[in-house]
Amino acid sequence: MNTKFITFILFYTILNSFSFAQQKCSDLENELKFQKAKNEELSKENRYYKETLDLLKPIQSVKIDGLQLDITSIVGSKADKTVTVTFMYKNIEAETRSFFQCEQAYFIDPQGNQAHAFEIFVSFNQGIRAENIKPDIPTKATITFKTTETTYPIIRQLKIIVFPKEIMAKQIEAIFENLDVVWK
């Protein structure tokens, strides 16, 4: 009788342990799924912040007419035969600037070939003009060039033509030299 009772207790304990282990395993699987989702979301945030830091690290900077222009990346696409220049502009004066307008840009490669801007976006609505530029707030802009060559490692000279804050004044050239191109 004692043996049967001990066997019954032992069998009952093993069954309870097994069902408890299954329940724990299911809980752990759910926790693992939650942690993986959380990790993925944190990875996305991390990539965003790294890209933001890269945008804030200029390759070259120029100050003109109360603005600071910072070139942050130059990426060439061999497939599209384009070069995209990303830059940040910032009003470095104390007052709000009424506008920033840029509708022309060109560059010269090491062989002397010129490429003129194909697309210029300086505002949120993908236009060539931004209005009411607040002081010390960097804003992202892009210029895309169509090109025939896709092998040059640098842009010898890049000129971005900017309208001055004084409407009747002559347009201003922001000039950057010897900029590395990253081809993809």
Q: Is 102 left (phi over 0), alpha (psi -120 to 50) or beta?
A: beta
Let me know whether 75 and 47 are in one domain.
no
Q: Do 98 and 134 reside in the same domain of the chain?
A: yes
Average pLDDT over residues 59-83: 95
Give φ, ψ of 174 to 5 degrees.
Answer: -95, 120
pLDDT reading at 1 higher than 60: no
176, 60 contact by CB (below 8 A): yes
Residue 154: pLDDT above 90? yes
Q: Give 13-67 pLDDT, tens digit per residue.
A: 665 565 655 666 777 777 878 888 888 888 888 788 777 666 567 899 999 999 9
The residue written with tokens 């993908």 in the block is: 126
pLDDT of residue 34: 81
Over range 148-155, report the average pLDDT. 90
Number of domains in the chain: 2
DSSP category for residue 135:
B
Q: Kindly state the greatest CA–CA separation across the chain.
A: 110
| pLDDT tens for each residue of 91-143 | 999 999 999 999 899 999 999 999 999 999 998 788 899 999 999 999 999 99
Of 1-10, 44-53, 119-128, 163-172, least confident by mean pLDDT is 1-10
Q: Which H or E element spans position 15?
A: helix 2-56
What CATH number is associated with residue 117? 2.60.40.4170
Instruction: State how far the Cα of 82 lies from the Cα of 55, in Å rounded to an integer.
Output: 20
Per-residue pLDDT band for 11 (boundaries 50, 70, 90) equals: low
The residue range of the domain holding 48 is: 1-56
Is this structure's pTM higher than 0.85?
no
| pLDDT at residue number 134 | 95
Residues 52 and 65 in one domain: no
